[in-house]
Amino acid sequence: MQIRSATAVAHPNIAFIKYWGNADDMLRLPVNSTISMNLDGLETKTTVIWSGDLATDQLILNGSPQSGAPLQRVVTHLDLLRQRLDINTHALVESTNNFPTGAGIASSAAAFAALTVAGAAAAGASLSERELTTLARRGSGSAARSVPTGFVEWHAGNTNEASYAESFAPPDYWDIVDIIAVVSREHKEVGSTAGHRSAATSDLQATRVAGAPERFNICRQAILDRDFATFAEVVEHDSNLMHAVMMTSRPPLFYWLPPTLTVIDTVRRWRDQEGLQVCYTLDAGPNVHCVCVRKDAQKVSTKLRALSEVLGVLSAAPGDGCRVLRLDKDNI
């Protein structure tokens, strides 16, 4: 009996060593290897139905049928899956996020991880986790890191097969929490895909990339040693370097807003003057990911909520990788 439908769940991830710029935009081969942690509690659930009855691919996102660019990006990924899985039907893709789309949490990572894993499962294919990461990467680079569990490294590689992600520590290895301080709910004007293309126009990108392998090793070891002080220093530095590249690209990209800097400054003060084990990191947006040890999480969360610049707070512990929730066979 042929399996035709599957549902997968994936978490977004926060990068501690950042992905910014590709050596190959088409294949999404990044210029440096990166490290991240999956975010438990925040999730994207995606069902893929391969069906000979469909005349076109369809995408329903949080209950709304999509067209234009969002649909096209999914169709392009479905084309890749069709080619790899030897499928010649269209698909219905239904996806829901349990986190607000306007909260500035990268949804493409969880979206393309779940789409890849559900699409392969629905086709009855049992691909290796490594191959699933390389396929997910083609949809959105950071999606490769949402496939494996817990703390994840993505090896840049210089071919399609060599650029893959794998877990280097399970979620319960280190009890840290990402407390996301939301300072804006606006949709960003320049997305990551366009940003990656402009990274090389910054004079600072070559320097950022040259130091990335060392920061990668320091960060990986700090996580394995559960050494918060070393971790905080390298994570903040790596985030600052990426934003320096963004700000000095031509044309420049300024993702920070005035409240962003207030939160950054405050987090540093809490660590230096009050001894809280907390540090900050930012993706391509103004919201501040405040990463702290579990014993300080409640305090950090309460203090962030008390800042007038902070509109809301979301908390996430280290999360699992992407997994299949349901498989249905024939006649669905």
Which residues sit at the interface with ligand DP6, rule CB under 6 A? 15, 18-20, 28, 34, 106, 108-109, 140-142, 192-193, 196, 283-284
CB of 109 to ligand DP6, least distance (A): 6
CB of 241 or CB of 267, closer to ligand DP6: 241
| Side chain identity at residue 79, one-letter code | D
Cα–chain-centroid distance for residue 235?
A: 16
Q: What are phi and psi of 94, to 5 degrees?
A: -120, 125
CB of 24 or CB of 203, closer to ligand DP6: 24
* Cβ-contact 173, 319 below 8 angstroms: no
Tokens of 65: 């049928």
288-293 sheet: strands from edge to edge: 278-281, 288-293, 176-182, 312-316
CB of 139 to ligand DP6, least distance (A): 7
CB of 189 or CB of 330, closer to ligand DP6: 189
CB of 123 or CB of 235, closer to ligand DP6: 235
CB of 140 to ligand DP6, least distance (A): 3
- Cα–Cα distance for residue pair 268/17, rounded to 1 Å: 19
CB of 50 to ligand DP6, least distance (A): 24
Helix axes 68-85, 129-139, angle to 10 degrees: 150
Nearest residue to 175 via CA among 154, 152, 150: 150
CB of 90 to ligand DP6, least distance (A): 23
| Side chain identity at residue 62, one-letter code | N
CB of 298 to ligand DP6, least distance (A): 27
CB of 19 or CB of 99, closer to ligand DP6: 19
CB of 2 to ligand DP6, least distance (A): 32
CB of 53 to ligand DP6, least distance (A): 31
CB of 4 or CB of 196, closer to ligand DP6: 196
Tokens of 306: 């008390």
CB of 9 or CB of 284, closer to ligand DP6: 284
CB of 28 or CB of 208, closer to ligand DP6: 28
CB of 31 or CB of 49, closer to ligand DP6: 31
CB of 129 to ligand DP6, least distance (A): 19
| Side chain identity at residue 34, one-letter code | T
- Cα–Cα distance for residue pair 289/310, rounded to 1 Å: 12
